[in-house]
Amino acid sequence: MIIDIAIIGAGAAGLSAARTAHALGKTCVVLEARQRVGGRAFTDRSLGQPFDAGAAYIHFSNRNPWMREARRLGIATQPWRGWTHHVPWLNGQWLSSDDQERRLTGYSELWDQIETLGEAFTDRSIADAAKHGSPWAQATASAMSRLGLGDEPSRLSLYDYIHQWEGPDHIVPDGYGHLVAASSHGLPIELGSIVRRITARAKGFDVETERGTVQARAVIVTVSIGVLKAGHIAFEPGLPNALLRALDGLEMGALTKVALSFDGERFGLKPGDDQIVLDAPGGAMTFEVWPFNRDLVLAVTGGDAGRALCHVGEAEAVDMAASLFSSVVGQDCRPHLRGGRLAGWWTDPFSEGGYAYARPGAYDAREALMDVGIDGLYFAGEADAGGRLGATMTVAGASMAGWNAAKRAARFLG
């Protein structure tokens, strides 16, 4: 049997593509390598208390389609308190009030400096944009890059970053990953189906998996840029040079989380007493303390520090995060530690990183992904967000890209 559309990946983009294909009257199947849906939106329950190992924030919630989906499914959301509330630590102690003021001023200084560049500037790295600022402005650029975008400021396109959509954020007490997974009900998904090769034929495609070959008239590939660049899926014929150049302009960040589960000891901290260690090894690390009043602390870092945590493995990463948290609470927290989990997307073969960013000078690579150059073959995911640059690096952007790719595939099929 030949189906209309084979969709590779059951993350937000793949699920959106499947829903859209069904609404447009096209037959489809979603082939997912993992034994679960959601991709990098995953609510981990292995510690007995849920936490979002991947995407956690419904960004620009005033126009994010997942707010509507949450209402449809009866899943609660609530506003996020923002990004400037963390108590900062430096050299093993609280930042002085004067230095806290300088830090906030450095944040404003960075954006003032960016705004002076105007609209028509030659693209550069975020580090280059901050290099003439104060030390606090440069520190702001570094922390923002590693903790927000997942990589070092010298590698990130400023032009790409400033075109991201802004707006209020919401969070999901039951988990953003739980919300995404709940939206998959009723869709034709085959879990554990690892795709190895996609071959273009005269009247469609052969999609080779470890379970057999699926024949389809069109294919939508929603795997990450990291998976594509690693060559985990072979394409016959090979991808056009223009598409390869676009892939070369994009890289995967390494935003990394370590979840620490405690026995009820709160170390004098209340929910929301979040901390940030500005001089953590390799870059700043944040600690989200007792989210939703659960006995959890979520440690987050990114860039090369995030990669290092992934490479040392879960046991050592948990110990490193717990050791740094101990320096914040003023005592060894490990006797109260019940367990820990490393969300190591950088070393996950089904993601090969957190989310995609554009290198300096390559901000147009995202839109170039829209045109694969092979009739009936489409890419979709957070990396291109359907050409809407402001929604990239988000679950919403992935959903929009999947919706757009399914519409294009339906038009192609007629």
Question: Residue ranges of the alpha helices (H) in 183-313?
Answer: 225-229, 241-248, 303-312
**Dist. CA 326–CA 264, nearest whole Å:** 15
Residue 119 has pLDDT above 70, yes or no: no
Of 81-95, 171-185, 233-247, 306-320, least confident by mean pLDDT is 81-95
- 283 vs 252, higher pLDDT: 252
Q: pLDDT band at 111, cuts 50/70/90?
A: confident
Q: Whole-angstrom Cα distance, residue 359 to residue 248?
A: 9
- Write out the CATH class of domain 2-38+184-252+355-413: alpha beta
Q: What is the distance of C-alpha 44 from the center of its chain?
A: 15
Residue 156 has pLDDT above 90, yes or no: yes
List, in order, residues 6 or more apart from 46 with CB less than 8 Å away. Answer: 341
Better-predicted residue by pLDDT, 122 or 303: 303
Residue 120 has pLDDT above 70, yes or no: no
**Average pLDDT of 198-221?**
96
pLDDT at 356 over 90: yes
Best CA proximity match to 343, nearest among 57, 38, 80, 42: 42
Q: SS3 of 211, please?
A: coil
Whether 306 contacts 346, CB under 8 Å: yes
Residue matched to tokens 């046991």: 315
**In this predicted model, which residue has the larger pLDDT, 219 or 369?**
219
Per cent of the chain over pLDDT 70 is 98
Please give the mean pLDDT across all residues of the chain. 94
Q: What are phi and psi of 163, to 5 degrees?
A: -95, 10
Residue 202's identity, in one-letter code, is A
Q: If you ran DSSP here, which 8-state letter would residue 148 be given?
A: I
pLDDT at 1 exceeding the cut of 90: no
CB 21 within 8 A of CB 5: yes
CA pair distance 195, 290, nearest whole angstrom:
39
Q: Of 355, 386, 369, 376, whose CA–CA distance to 220 is shortest?
A: 376
